[in-house]
A = this chain, B = another copy of it.
Amino acid sequence: MIESIKMTDAITQVNNLLLANQFDDAAQMLGGLHPADGAEILMALKPEYQAVLIDRLQATELAEIFEQMHEEAMLAAAHHLDVDDLADVLDEMEPDMAADLIGEMDPDDAAEVLEQMEEAAPVSSLLAYPYDTAGGLMNLPPPSLRRYMTVKEAFAFLKQHYRDASEIYYVYVLDRNAKLIGVVNLRALILAEPEQTIEELMNRDVIVARVDMDQESVAQIIRKYDLIAVPVVDAEHKLVGIVTVDDVVDVAEAEATEDMQKIGGMEALDEPYMNIAFSRMVRKRAGWLVVLFLGEMLTATAMSFFEKEIERAVVLALFVPLIISSGGNSGSQAATLVIRALALGEVRLRDWWRVLRRELWAGLALGSILGSIGFARITLWSLVADTYGPHWMLVALTVGIALVGIVLWGTLAGSMLPLLLSRLGFDPASSSAPFVATLVDVTGLLIYFSVAAILLRGTLL
């Protein structure tokens, strides 16, 4: 039984064999593990050891291990193989995974390796679909039944055509034009009598995905209807492939990671944190940091407009970080909520008015809470000590009122920006929390000093 304790053992053993230069034994051990474990161990090794093991593993073993890797790792591992060996491995892989790997390769290398493959046709056909659609996610359609078959004939058909299948989920029923007309689940087939026909058993309400549907929608269908696999059809309703739940689990996880990283204010890494090359990681983080920094420079410009006011009332400067961060925090909350709700399909673009109304009241409520605390804080400090001078009451009022305005503004900006980006065809997750915070920082300063200018005229200013 494979459990996580065993996993650490296996890593240690493979490592020890490699350190003792017993490469054949290490390769044999790796090939004997579950491919998912084999992939995990291989990815954790240094490139030179990877090369040594990849060289010694059989094509069938490598194919199974490659299938468990994400694309960048597959690509890195494939570099250790020459074209002929890589073609052999690709021939053994599931066509959808082979297509994923080839799709990541340099076009010239891809053409060369396709030429060397014995069974290039299925892979080539899958390569024609954009990677982020149902077509890009799907595998080739499984052999399908006809409705006039009996259960007994169906079993004979499965025995004949599913020898090489890794697993059977549902069996599909096609008409003479290859159009999808029904689905039979295996439970129904097993429970049925031998002489019943497929037509009697099949479910005609097949939930399908269109081949050009984007991958997030496919994931939503599988999730919503609790499916193991969804058939993919073309415009004529012909069965062209299936997407299985394990592909979708990976997609959902990758999309969530991407969204989180974007919300966190960087480009999506697209690779595991511990595996990505340092320079690539820094580049992906520096890009947004620089953009945010350039945006945030406007705060210095905004502040310099009020240099005279600050000179006259330094007390105003003390609250600048407090004020602007409150706007940033409330904006970051609202943006995160709306981005995630959009990704899950809970909020649609047409709901913008309901979101705006909701966030208007939420912003007012949150702003009032923070404004009251800010007011109370300055009042308390002033009653105990003379921290904020004789006009502390006006300072407290300025801070309190500015907070209501800034939190309201942060909340509205944070909630509307993802919807606006989505409307304009951009990824809503790009309106990251830091991006919203930067926007709100600059405008927040304007709100704060404007409130101050009105309330403090004739006293402090």
Contacts and interface: CB of A to CB of B under 8 A. Distances in A.
A430 interface: no
Given A224-B36, A278-B358, A321-B445, A333 B289 contact: yes
A328 B435 CA distance: 12
Q: Chain A interface mostly helix, strand, loop or mixed?
A: helix
Nearest to A387: B304
A249 B257 contact: no
A265 interface: yes
Contact of A292 (B249, B260, B329, B338): B329
Contacts of A169: 228
A155 interface: yes
A122 to B, nearest CB: 20
Determine the interface band of chain A, counting residues with CB < 8 A from chain B. Answer: 35 or more
A296 interface: yes
Contacts of A330: 285, 289
Contacts of A282: 362, 365-366
Contact of A434 (B1, B248, B329, B438): B329
A29 B315 CA distance: 66
A286 B366 contact: yes
Contact of A433 (B289, B292, B433): B433
A434 B300 contact: no
Contacts of A155: 190
A17 to B, nearest CB: 21
Nearest to A293: B370
B289 A369 contact: yes
27 contacts: A1-B206, A1-B237, A36-B225, A158-B191, A162-B191, A249-B249, A252-B256, A253-B256, A260-B339, A264-B336, A265-B433, A266-B336, A274-B346, A275-B346, A281-B362, A285-B330, A286-B369, A297-B322, A297-B377, A300-B319, A303-B318, A307-B315, A311-B314, A321-B324, A325-B434, A329-B434, A329-B437
The 7 closest A-B pairs by CB, nearest first: A264-B336, A299-B321, A256-B256, A273-B341, A226-B246, A317-B317, A303-B318
Interface of A: 1-4, 34, 36, 40, 68, 155, 158-159, 162-163, 165-169, 185-187, 190-191, 205-208, 210, 217, 222-228, 237, 245-246, 248-250, 252-253, 256-257, 259-261, 263-266, 269, 272-275, 278, 281-282, 285-286, 288-290, 292-294, 296-297, 299-300, 303-304, 307, 310-311, 314-315, 317-322, 324-326, 328-330, 332-333, 335-341, 344, 346-347, 351, 354, 358, 361-362, 365-366, 369-370, 373-374, 377, 387, 407, 433-434, 437-438, 441, 445
